[in-house]
Amino acid sequence: MKRRNLVLAGAVGTAAAVAGIGAAWWRLRPEELPLPSGFWQTRFEKPEGGELVLANYRGKPLVLNFWATWCPPCVKEMPDLDTFAKEHATQGWRVLGLAVDNPKAVREFLARAPVGYTIGLAGFEGSDLARQLGNGQGGGQAGLPFTVAFDRNGAVTHRKSGATTLEELRGWAKKA
């Protein structure tokens, strides 16, 4: 009986290790997941009016951040995203925040806590786009915040589920 339990525990441990290695491999190879069809043609309303057109950001290094007003880690990382956008604008970097939230709530939030980077109103359908970009892939759970970095050629260089930090964003910029 003891031997059988030992073999079973070994098999479970091996399966967990393989799953962990698979998740790590996926995280190290962000380019493997193709962009959704028509991604660069996607358009969003902006909170202040007007339209955010992703095609206008192609050819520039880009950080795309999915967030919501009701998400504490999202709100916490916004100052870091804002600082990164200001620090790296001269190197061509752009930061876009896509609010996966009610437009009214986003407008009220930004009136109290404005940011210098561009915000688009993705609505709750933004969750679908985030999933298509890899949120929840590689063994992780889909959620917010979710951040994707693109190089000048429009290829994904980094993906992250969970809050980013200024240091992490700076590291991404150095590798781009």
Could you tell me which of 97, 111, 110 has the C-alpha nearest to residue 144? 97
Residue 15, pLDDT > 60, answer: no
Helices (H) and strands (E) in the chain, counts: 5, 7
Higher model confidence: residue 83 or residue 26?
A: 83
Condensed to tens digits (0 to 9), the pLDDT of residues 123-165 reads 988 999 999 999 987 666 679 999 999 999 999 999 999 999 9
Residue count of the chain: 176
97, 131 contact by CB (below 8 A): no
User: Residue 26 has what pLDDT?
Assistant: 43
The model carries a pTM of 0.81
Condensed to tens digits (0 to 9), the pLDDT of residues 75-97 reads 999 999 999 999 999 999 999 99
Residue 167, pLDDT > 70, answer: yes
Residue 24, pLDDT > 50, answer: no
Condensed to tens digits (0 to 9), the pLDDT of residues 38-61 reads 999 999 999 999 999 999 999 999
